[in-house]
Amino acid sequence: MGILSQILQTRSRVLFIQEPHQNVSAVVAIMAEQQIGAIPVCEAERLVGIFSERDFLRRVAAVGLDPAKTPLGEVMTPDPVTAAPDEDRLVAIGKMQAVGCRHLPILVNGTVLDMLSMRDLLFVEIEERVAEVAQLRQYISGSY
């Protein structure tokens, strides 16, 4: 599974788009309830940012902002790195490493289709390596 669209097909869609005027408190409640680490922030279906657990810690909690009065637009990460469904998994991982992020919005014609996390991408890598090791063991033992 080298292409992002293949990874997206293997799991349920996890997407809770919010708008920049939403208050942080409401969005953090959604994130906690849904057990997700980041939410895309869109205006008129156009991605304008991403709000993550890190954003909350660094831009809200650490500086003492009131989450109930703070809009996402003031504390989100603007213009996040993105990918297209037809991109290679390793290219996507490289993009995420380059900017130090753990969540990647997947866009189609500028609209957010889904989100992938670094964990999603690395689990695929681990599964492939486990299968590869099993095949090599079968080959070595002559049971292929």
Q: What is the pLDDT of residues 84-129, one digit of tens each?
A: 999 998 899 999 999 999 999 999 988 999 999 888 888 767 676 6
Whether the predicted model's global pTM rises above the 0.75 cut:
yes
Question: Which pLDDT score is estimated for 139?
Answer: 78
Strands (E), 18-87: 38-43, 46-52, 77-78
Question: Measured between alpha carbons, how far is 40 from 2 in angstroms, rounded to an integer?
Answer: 24
Helix/strand/coil percentages in the chain, nearest 5: 45, 25, 30
Its CATH class, for the domain covering 4-141, is alpha beta
DSSP 86: T
Which residue, among 50, 123, 115, has the nearest Cα to 85 in the 3D structure? 115
Closest CA to 117 of 53, 42, 43, 61: 53
